[in-house]
């Protein structure tokens, strides 16, 4: 007798609402794959009872959707094939000249700073509408959310301050004085520190989040713009626009340990989830520099659109999104080969960009339009493609058989799948 077929990958559907069983990985021996519900469960409790996969005898690999299923989340994609085109599914009117954007750790809110009217727009993920508007300091440009989601930090460039917002009340609870012309802002993974670039005095301010005071200032390059913190919190990478470099700061002593030469007009900075690469947009030469963090050397340069500004890495690490201001586009870079695989039209003067934690949405600020473009991300594995933005009810399964209108409960929404068996990172 022949042996058991080997798995070429695994599909996991992780649903986050009532009425759903979260199943262990399903072994996949060939693509395409058809996912269908094999049994209905109607008496499953709410999220508080989800302490791990529930396995019924003989059914460990079966996808079960309950009658109250309303949504799902993507855990990540390990091994990405030819993706269906990502699509702008909504355009949201915000404040005057939206600049930076950040998404809460749980993905329910996006925070957009509007430099033209000194405000922060709070967007609901579920309705794609502005639910609140918060007044901050003069000419806000950068924004970051704490890892816990309880605080939002906004840099006010003219004031030389950082507004600290409580997300529970959507009010400013403190104002921290930093350097001249604060721009970029990022929080450490443990939430104990916030780092701010000060473009007017070539420094990075280090804020203690317990006391909301500046505890250190690190001298970096000329006109530091944006920064990002490594996943382990040991490094901060700050782009310096006027000298085309990235300063590498060691957080233990808050000292610059290396300076990496990149392109002209170094601007946006993003680190991959594994910390192995840093992507830097070079606004004046229309490229993205790829830095290997092990050597602090540029290992690749990717040509993107005209005037690349904001950049973000998708949570699974296989895609990088770059906002191109003059092109009015977003370049999608595949990290396995550092090549542009998609170009998505957005609004006028595309600037800031941020991905949701589940990777299903990308938010882009359009400064001249006073809008935010919402991009639905489509994920593929081999010939299995799931449209994470529109697979609702009847839905669509691209590259494989249709799920069919009976595959989900009434009002249900399946947001994605993941492979956990064959990483290509």
pLDDT at position 379: 58
| 133 and 276 inside one domain | yes
| 219 and 254 inside one domain | yes
308: nearest Cα among 219, 415, 225: 225
Report whether 280 contacts 289 (CB < 8 A): yes
Element (H, E) at 120: strand 119-124
C-alpha–C-alpha distance, residues 123 and 126, integer Å:
9
DSSP 385-408: EEETTT-BTT--EETS----GGGS
Boundary residue ending a domain (376, 397, 415): 376
417: nearest Cα among 155, 170, 38, 73: 73
pLDDT at position 85: 72
CA distances from 422 to 9, 217, 255, 416 (A): 6, 43, 39, 17
| 98 and 50 inside one domain | no
| 288 and 370 inside one domain | yes
| 140 and 54 inside one domain | no
- Structural domain span for residue 47: 1-84+377-425
| 62 and 143 inside one domain | no
The CATH number of residue 242's host domain is 2.130.10.10
| 102 and 11 inside one domain | no
| 114 and 183 inside one domain | yes
| 225 and 353 inside one domain | yes
In the sheet with 329-334, reading across from the earlier edge strand, the strands are: 308-313, 319-324, 329-334, 339-345
Q: What are the counts of helices (DSSP H) followed by strands (DSSP E) for the chain? A: 0, 36
| 400 and 421 inside one domain | yes
pLDDT at position 38: 36
C-alpha–C-alpha distance, residues 236 and 204, integer Å:
10
For the chain, the domain total comes to: 2
C-alpha–C-alpha distance, residues 76 and 83, integer Å:
14
| 171 and 37 inside one domain | no
pLDDT at position 378: 75
**110: three-class secondary structure by DSSP:** strand
Neighbours of 6 (CB within 10 A): 8
Instruction: Please tell me whether the peptide bond between 65 and the residue prior to it is cis, using omega within 30 degrees of 0.
Output: no
| pTM for this prediction | 0.74
| 22 and 57 inside one domain | yes
C-alpha–C-alpha distance, residues 385 and 389, integer Å:
12
Residues of the chain with pLDDT under 50: 1-2, 4, 6-26, 28, 30-83, 381-425
Strand 151-156 and strand 161-166: the pairing is antiparallel
379-421: pLDDT as tens digits:
554 434 443 333 222 222 222 222 222 222 222 222 233 322 2
């Amino acid at each position: 007798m022949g042996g058991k077929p080997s798995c070429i990958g695994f599909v996991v559907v992780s649903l986050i609402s009532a009425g759903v069983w979260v199943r262990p990985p399903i072994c996949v021996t060939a693509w395409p794959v058809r996912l269908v519900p094999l049994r209905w469960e109607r008496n499953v409790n709410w999220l508080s009872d989800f302490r791990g996969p529930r396995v019924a005898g003989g059914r460990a690999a079966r996808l079960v959707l309950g009658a109250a299923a309303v949504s799902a989340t993507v855990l990540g994609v390990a091994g990405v094939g030819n993706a269906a085109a990502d699509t702008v599914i909504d355009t949201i009117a915000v404040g005057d000249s939206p600049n930076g954007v950040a998404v809460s750790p749980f993905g329910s809110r996006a925070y957009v700073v509007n430099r033209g009217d000194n405000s922060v727009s709070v967007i609901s993920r579920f309705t794609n509408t502005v639910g609140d508007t918060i007044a901050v300091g003069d000419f806000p440009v950068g924004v970051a959310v704490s890892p816990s989601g309880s605080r939002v930090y906004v840099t006010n460039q003219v004031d030389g301050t950082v507004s600290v917002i409580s997300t529970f009340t959507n009010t400013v609870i403190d104002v921290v004085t930093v350097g001249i012309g604060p721009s970029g802002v990022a929080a450490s993974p443990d939430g104990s520190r916030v780092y701010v670039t000060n473009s007017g005095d070539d420094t990075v301010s280090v804020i203690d989040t317990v006391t909301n005071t500046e505890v250190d200032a690190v001298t970096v390059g000329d006109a530091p713009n944006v920064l990002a913190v490594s996943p382990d919190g040991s490094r901060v990478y700050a782009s310096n626009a006027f000298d085309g470099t990235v300063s590498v700061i060691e957080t233990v002593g808050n000292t610059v340990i290396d300076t990496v030469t990149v392109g002209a007009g170094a601007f946006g900075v993003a680190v991959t989830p594994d910390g192995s690469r840093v992507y830097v947009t070079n606004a004046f030469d229309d490229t993205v520099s790829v830095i290997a963090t092990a050597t602090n050397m540029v290992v690749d340069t990717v040509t993107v659109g005209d005037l690349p500004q904001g950049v973000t890495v998708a949570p699974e690490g296989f895609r990088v999104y770059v906002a191109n201001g003059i092109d009015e586009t977003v370049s999608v870079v595949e990290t396995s080969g550092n090549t542009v695989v998609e170009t998505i039209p957005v609004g006028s003067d595309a600037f800031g960009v941020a991905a949701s934690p589940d990777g299903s949405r990308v938010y882009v600020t359009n400064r001249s339009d006073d809008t935010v473009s919402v991009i639905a991300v489509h994920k593929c594995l081999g010939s299995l493609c799931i449209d994470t933005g529109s697979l609702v009810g009847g839905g669509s399964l691209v590259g494989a058989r249709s799920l069919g209108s009976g595959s989900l409960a009434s009002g249900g929404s399946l947001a994605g799948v993941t492979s956990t068996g064959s990483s290509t990172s």
